[in-house]
Amino acid sequence: MTHALDAPLKKTPLHSRHRTSGARMVAFGGWEMPIEYSGIAVEHLAVRQRAGVFDVSHMGEIEIAGDQALEAVQMISCNDASRLAAGQAQYSGLLTSRGTFVDDLLVYRLAPRHFLLVVNASHIDRDYAHIVEHIKPVGDAVAVDASGRYALIAIQGPQALPTLQPLTGVDLTALKYYWFAHGEVANVRATISRTGYTGEDGFEIFVAPQSADRVWLALLDQGREVGVIPCGLGARDTLRLEAGMRLHGNDIDESTTVLEADLGWIVGWGKPDFL
| pLDDT over 70, % of the chain | 98
* Structure confidence at residue 4 (pLDDT): 45
pLDDT digits (tens, 9 = 90+) for 87-97: 999 999 999 99
Chain mean pLDDT for the chain: 96
> Does the pLDDT of residue 231 top 90, yes or no?
yes
> Residue 5: pLDDT above 90?
no
d(CA 242, CA 236): 10
User: Identity (one letter) of the amino acid at 198?
Assistant: T
Q: How confident is the model at residue 7 (pLDDT cuts 50, 70, 90)?
A: confident
Q: Which residue pairs, CB below 8 angstroms and at least 24 apart, start in 184-191?
A: 185/215, 185/218, 186/214, 186/215, 186/218, 186/219, 187/214, 188/214, 188/215, 190/215
Q: What's the rounded mean pLDDT across residues 163-170?
A: 98
> Domain ranges in the chain?
15-57+150-242, 60-147
CATH architecture of the domain with range 15-57+150-242: 2-Layer Sandwich (3.30)
Distance of CA 16 to the CA centre of its chain: 21
Among the listed ranges 7-11, 40-44, 130-134, 172-176, which one has the minimum average pLDDT value? Answer: 7-11
pLDDT at 117 over 90: yes
Residue 242 main-chain phi, psi, to 5 deg = -60, -35
Closest of 191, 88, 92 to residue 149, by C-alpha: 191
Over residues 197-208, the mean pLDDT reads 98
Q: Which pLDDT score, from 0 to 100, does residue 213 have?
A: 98
| Residue 79, Ramachandran bin (φ over 0: left; ψ between -120 and 50: alpha; else beta) | beta
CATH topology for the 60-147 domain? Alpha-Beta Plaits (3.30.70)
User: With bands split at pLDDT 50, 70 and 90, how would you rate the model's confidence at 105?
Assistant: very high
Rounded to whole angstroms, the Cα distance separating 47 from 49 reads 6
Given a cut of 90, whether residue 85 has pLDDT beyond it is yes
Report the pLDDT averaged over residues 111-116: 98
Q: Pick from 72, 104, 107: which is nearest to 89 by CA?
A: 107
pLDDT digits (tens, 9 = 90+) for 232-257: 999 999 999 999 999 999 999 999 99
**What pLDDT is recorded for position 6?**
60
> Once rounded to an integer, what is the mean pLDDT over residues 126-144?
97
Q: In a 3-state reduction of DSSP, which class is residue 63? A: strand
* 260 phi-psi bin (left φ>0, alpha ψ -120 to 50, beta other): alpha
